[in-house]
Amino acid sequence: MAKNLIFFMGFFIFCLTEVWAKHQYMRYKDPKQPLNVRISDLLGRMTLEEKIGQMVQIDRTVASKKVMKKYLIGSVLSGGGSVPSKEASPKVWIDMVNEFQKGSLSTRLGIPMIYGIDAVHGHNNVYKATIFPHNVGLGATRDPNLAKRIGAATALEVRATGISYVFAPCIAVCRDPRWGRCFESYSEDPKVVQEMTEIISGLQGEIPSNSRKGVPYVAGREKVAACAKHYVGDGGTTKGMNENNTLASRHGLLSIHMPGYYNSIIKGVSTVMISYSSWNGKKMHENRDLITGFLKNTLRFRGFVISDWQGIDRITSPPHANYTYSIIAGITAGIDMIMVPFNYTEFIDGLTYLVKTNVIPISRIDDAVKRILRVKFVMGLFENPLADSSFVNELGKKEHRELAREAVRKSLVLLKNGESADKPILPLPKKVPKILVAGSHANNLGFQCGGWTIEWQGLGGNNLTSGTTILSAIKDTVDPKTKVVFKENPDMEFVKSNKFSYAIVVVGEYPYAETFGDSLNLTIPEPGPSTITNVCGAVKCVVIVISGRPVVLQPYISSIDALVAAWLPGTEGKGISDVLFGDYGFSGKLSRTWFKTVDQLPMNVGDAHYDPLFPFGFGLTTNPIKAN
């Protein structure tokens, strides 16, 4: 009897202890506690396995509720074009993100995961999202407030799909247009790039004036965590080769490529992504001096540092040749979260072994995890881990499309307008008998959006997403009695025999992203040049160039009556017709030097050999036509 009583008493105490343990006060779960108290409390409860799990980001294609729970994964991403299903609705996205999140919440400590996506010109992976002009066009607007409003609209559209983290903005300073990512850069001028970091205040919210410098800030459920990328010098590589080597003195690196990071950190940017490129032969992913020494210690950045896609693999040549070395080099350099889209177990096992054998100190792991937790707490993920479905109607909504249309108008740069100022061609009259619209890019929504649109490399055609082509924008703008004839690549005889009042020719680059866009010749592909020659040789013509950068135009300039750089305008083609026909005036200014020949490259404003076709800051203006 006494034995039974002792057993039952012991069992009762054990049960009480278990109940108490389950309901004990966990300070990290209390939003009223100071940020650092929550971080320390949670970190103190974590095992090595839980800490390393937080440092891992995997692609959605290998993620599941089970994987999130088993491996304690800290983050999931969508790579370029990685979607739950073709033309997925916001609800489909939300259900997928929530499913992963439920796996994270079912772990012992319930640390929510963070989902990241490349929203580099709007929510560009997502069907029916508003696609804004790429950064090269936004730089031409010289309008930081516009960038901020675009950031706020993009944040809402990203939240519409249940996602809370974007790999944007790219604050590269592209110093050579041969680089395939030049369209992701606002300008060759670091000052313009600094000004346009105002997009971070739109994405994350305006940082309170009393905030400590370097501490990440996300204002609430309508905002997302942002990412300044790619640290540092990605736009300065030799001949613009992607992922290559930037040769520069320390002063050159800090004065040209670093200023955008100063502004981003002051604005409370949550994360910084490391560049694939090297500086003076040393891979940025293993550059401890610049990541830990300068970014973390000198600039006092308190968010987390993330690798690029398989970024540590590429520390070695060939990639993944010595993965143990890659892990040691990347982690000790100061990278906190590693984008290991697929081989995550290899990374987890490798890092665990290196910590247990004291090759990598636990203090380095704790620094990484503190930073990741800081961002998650600041974002409010612990209080609101699941997606808010009340934002679904934000995707592609009218107000955002109007904002994109405004951005297109302001980004257009007028390079030529008639032979002399007193005989301008633009604005064009809306009411004439018959006009010709020609060119490969006039009726192609995918071409006018460029890379990083629905698919990583972009797409051609008009059925990729919702939007307005330049052709349909022209048709909607001219007088109903004006006949609009579209012929993609007419011969000169056709043009001459049809008695057109004037022609609008829309040509340019085909979509590309990253290394696939690297180009040593920067020519417009055929049939673009032929179309210009055939049309402009026979009738008064306006040429609109759709491109991610300056391209070779000098051979055609004399035959062109009016010339417009429209960059990669995105889904809202009416922004172009708004200005062509005088409802608004041209106001854009070149954020990049327009070269005469590629032999001059690299050539940037301030260089001794500066002899451009159109200089940095150039842009003719027109006045809007007053309505009668």
Residue 254 DSSP class: I
Question: What is the rounded CA–CA span in Å between residue 195 and residue 206?
Answer: 15
Residue pointed to by tokens 């997403």 = 465
Which tokens is 185 given?
Answer: 């850069």
Strand order across the 227-231 sheet: 227-231, 271-274, 304-306
Query: Are 97 and 387 in contact, with CB atoms under 8 Å apart?
Result: yes
Residue with tokens 């800051």: 617
User: Cα dist. 363→334, 360, 367, 566 in Å?
Assistant: 11, 8, 6, 50
Write the single-letter amino acid at 409: R
Q: Which two tokens stand for residue 137?
A: 């066009």
In this structure, what token pair is assigned to residue 112?
């929510």
Token pair for 16: 């009480």
Distance (Å, rounded) from C-alpha 85 to C-alpha 140?
35
Q: Determine whether 184 is an active site residue.
A: no
What distance lies between CA 43 and its chain's CA centroid? 31
From residue 271, alpha-carbon distances to 122, 218, 226, 268, 422 in Å are 19, 11, 6, 9, 51
Alpha-carbon gap, residue 346 to 278, rounded angstroms: 25
- Judged by phi (left if over 0) then psi (alpha if -120 to 50, else beta), residue 464 lies in alpha
CA distance 455 to 2: 73
Q: How far is CA 519 from the centre of its chain?
A: 21
Burial class (CB in 10 A: 0-12, 13-18, 19+), 85: exposed
- Cα separation, 358 vs 349, in Å, equals 14
Q: Which of 394, 514, 518, 572 is catalytic?
A: 514
Amino acid at 608: A
Closest CA to 176 of 415, 615, 519, 553: 519
Question: Where do we find the tokens 């809402």?
Answer: 156
CA dist 239 → 227, 244, 315, 602 (Å): 26, 9, 21, 7
Whole-number Å distance between alpha carbons of 200 and 169: 7
Q: Select which of 176, 308, 336, 572 is catalytic.
A: 308
The verdict on whether 491 is a catalytic residue reads no
Known catalytic residues? 308, 514
